[in-house]
Amino acid sequence: MSAQYDDGTILLDDATLERFHRATGGEAWPCYQCGTCTATCPWGRVRQEPLLVRTLMRNAQLGIDEDGESLWLCTSCGICEDRCPRGVPIVRILRALRSLAWKDRRIPEGLPSVLWAVHRDGNPYSLPPCERTRWADDLEVKEFEPTDEMLLYLGCTASYDRRIQKVARSVVGGLRAAGVQFGTLGASEPCCGETALAMGQTAFAAEIAEANAKLFAARGVKTVVTISPHCFDMFQNHTPRLDEGFEALHYTQFLARLVSAGRLVCRGSFPRRVAFHDPCYLGRRNGEYDAPRTVLESIPGAEIVELEESRAGALCCGAGGGRMFLETPVGERFSDLRVRQAANAGAEVLATACPFCITCLEESAPQVDQPLKVMDVAEIAARALEPEGADVEATASGR
């Protein structure tokens, strides 16, 4: 263990250095300590003391233990990585440091039980696997077959969270309108493992990913389409490909293809001013900014406005990197800033395409003076599928 003295002197030791080095693969070394990361980190906008990303990188280089808090603040939004002049994979390094913290049992309260839930119930919410299909009770969504165009992967949040179930139902509505033949894995759908990865349980996440790769190969999955960008990121970047492999897509990408192919046509309209909030895991982490906008632009009546910080510069909602399962005090929630940006842009609807973003933004939405409705892109599309689209309904859903 490295030791710090009262006068600020830090005593380094080789064992910790070696341990950090092995965990991070030395990826922190290219960092030349310019501090762009600290300056761009959104925590600096809600807290007096920003998240000292630069210091975290220096500590990773030298093998200095963390204070135990800052490591868990990172939402893995990736804006620091995007701007880092040295291309340091900061999020990956922080995950590696988190994995060491697990071994030392320096873990924020509440996280072990979330992982236990993934381990036991196959979802981070400790909810029964048999209830995984309840969202589709009256929809008659069939079981996936290899002849299907694609596998619709719900993910845990869309399966269990009543608010996000509406998003899943809207996606199904869009797919059906476009005549897509698809199925789901029903009650046997596994967790994608992103929660474990984000929390730094890299070995456990890899275990889940390997099982999922086998499952997809065995079931003959060629294309998997996810509701959540987090599941998409997991399948796209962290799940191995077996046999012929599979293509991972976020549902906005799939819908955008349907729009471009002329298969998905909105005959109704959505006469609202809509701003799109880029989810970090879709945008910065996977470079997809256009697909959701393509879908929104295909909707008659919708007037698309851009937020002050958008696309690669988008501000995070605050829920990534496992933060969805940790408490963020009032006044420190990024989503509060984001809904204000939406109000400033004159948006009536703040659209996004991620279950976590919806949850956070919807909770912050009542803070702005004008009415601001948070909707998923799929919900807006579903609303405009048919001519007599119903009026925007209110969803002030608190906890």
Partner 1 sequence: MAASLIRPEEAQRIWVWLEHDGTSLEGVSLELLAKGRELADRSGEGLVGLLMGHELDSLADEALGYGADEIVVAEDPLLEVYTTDAWCDAAAQVVLEKKPNILLFGATPDGRDLAGRLAVRLRTGLTADCTDLEIKTDEPALMLAAEVTGFGGGVAAIIACKENRPQMATVRPGVFRPALRRSHGEEGVQSRCPVRIDPGRVRTRVLERRIGEAVDITKAEALVVGGRGVKGDFGLLETLAGLLGAELGASRVAVDEGWIEKDRMIGQTGSVTRPKVAIVCGVSGAMQFTVGIMEADTVVAINSDPEAPIFESADYCVVDDLFSILPPLIRELENSR
Q: Which residues bind partner 1 (CB under 8 A)?
A: 102-103, 110, 112-113, 115-116, 119, 125-127, 160-163, 201, 203-204, 207, 324-327, 330, 359, 397-399
Q: Which is nearer to partner 1, 24 or 202 (CB)?
A: 202
Question: To the nearest whole angstrom, how small is the minimum distance from the Cβ of residue 212 to partner 1?
Answer: 15
Which strand (E) or helix (H) includes residue 79?
helix 79-83
Question: To the nearest whole angstrom, how small is the minimum distance from the Cβ of residue 273 to partner 1?
Answer: 27
The 3-state DSSP class for residue 249 equals strand
Q: Which is nearer to partner 1, 290 or 327 (CB)?
A: 327
Question: To the nearest whole angstrom, how small is the minimum distance from the Cβ of residue 83 to partner 1?
Answer: 30
Question: What are the tokens at 295?
Answer: 């879908």
Tell me how far CA of residue 95 lies from CA of 41, 205, 372, in angstroms: 16, 12, 35
Residues 6+ positions from 56 with CB-CB distance below 8 Å: 66, 70, 71, 93, 94, 97
Cα–Cα nearest to 152, from 130, 128, 178, 127:
178
Question: To the nearest whole angstrom, how small is the minimum distance from the Cβ of residue 254 to partner 1?
Answer: 25
Question: To the nearest whole angstrom, how small is the minimum distance from the Cβ of residue 9 to partner 1?
Answer: 30
Q: Which is nearer to partner 1, 104 or 145 (CB)?
A: 104
Q: Which is nearer to partner 1, 43 or 254 (CB)?
A: 43
What is the residue type of 29?
W
Q: Which is nearer to partner 1, 32 or 116 (CB)?
A: 116
Question: To the nearest whole angstrom, how small is the minimum distance from the Cβ of residue 328 to partner 1?
Answer: 8
Up-side HSE of residue 292: CA atoms within 13 Å toward CB? 30
Residue 387 gets which letter from DSSP? S
Q: Which is nearer to partner 1, 137 or 244 (CB)?
A: 137
The total number of residues shown for the chain amounts to: 399
> Residue 353: is it exposed, middle or buried by C-beta count within 10 angstroms (0-12/13-18/19+)?
buried
Question: To the nearest whole angstrom, how small is the minimum distance from the Cβ of residue 306 to partner 1?
Answer: 29
Up-side HSE of residue 376: CA atoms within 13 Å toward CB? 28
DSSP string over 94-115: HHHHHHHHHHTT---TTHHHHH
Q: Which is nearer to partner 1, 8 or 398 (CB)?
A: 398
Token pair 């702005």 is found at 368
